[in-house]
Amino acid sequence: MAKINVLDKEITIYAQNNEDYICITDIARYKDADRTDYLIHNWLRNRNTIEFLGIWEQLNNPDFNPIEFDGFRNRAGLNSFILTPKQWIEKTHAIGLFSRAGRYGGTYAHKDIAVEFASWIFR
């Protein structure tokens, strides 16, 4: 685990399979420290987010489940649509996101995805 300091906030970076994963929970803490999970869930509800994640997974993950992805993409943006990182990971076999419990816990995203999340959260 490494930490970087961005805008006076500590952000955890985790190396996995020679790739950097950035804790988007730490990034969300910048916006609202008490509701980080709510912010991540709202980001995942967005149709543009689902499409971005789907394209990233199709390019980087041979085990990605495109059928589950199509189901999420079709429902994304609806008021009744709810998606958690755990659901996305389990249903689509995603590798761009992962969640950890305990110390250094949170939702981590591949650096490409984390940059997209950060640009969304700082709009």
**Domain limits of the chain?**
2-121
Q: pLDDT band for 102, please (50, 70, 90 cuts).
A: confident
Q: pLDDT band for 123, please (50, 70, 90 cuts).
A: confident
- Kindly give the residue spans of alpha helices, DSSP state H, lying in 1-123: 24-31, 36-45, 47-60, 66-75, 85-92, 111-121
Q: Rounded to an integer, what distance in angstroms lies between the CA atom of residue 41 and that of residue 83?
A: 6
Q: Which two tokens stand for residue 39?
A: 């912010």
pTM of the model: 0.90
Averaged pLDDT for residues 82-109: 91
Q: What is the pLDDT of residues 8-61, one digit of tens each?
A: 778 888 888 889 999 999 999 988 888 999 999 999 999 999 999 999 999 999
pLDDT at 104: 65
Half-sphere exposure of 6 (CA within 13 A, CB side): 17
pLDDT at 33: 85
Q: Rounded to an integer, what distance in angstroms lies between the CA atom of residue 3 and that of residue 12?
A: 5
Q: Rounded to an integer, what distance in angstroms lies between the CA atom of residue 122 and that of residue 103?
A: 26
Identify whether the C-beta of residue 92 lies closer than 8 Å to the C-beta of residue 64: yes
Q: What is the pLDDT of residues 65-89, one digit of tens each?
A: 999 999 999 999 899 999 999 999 9
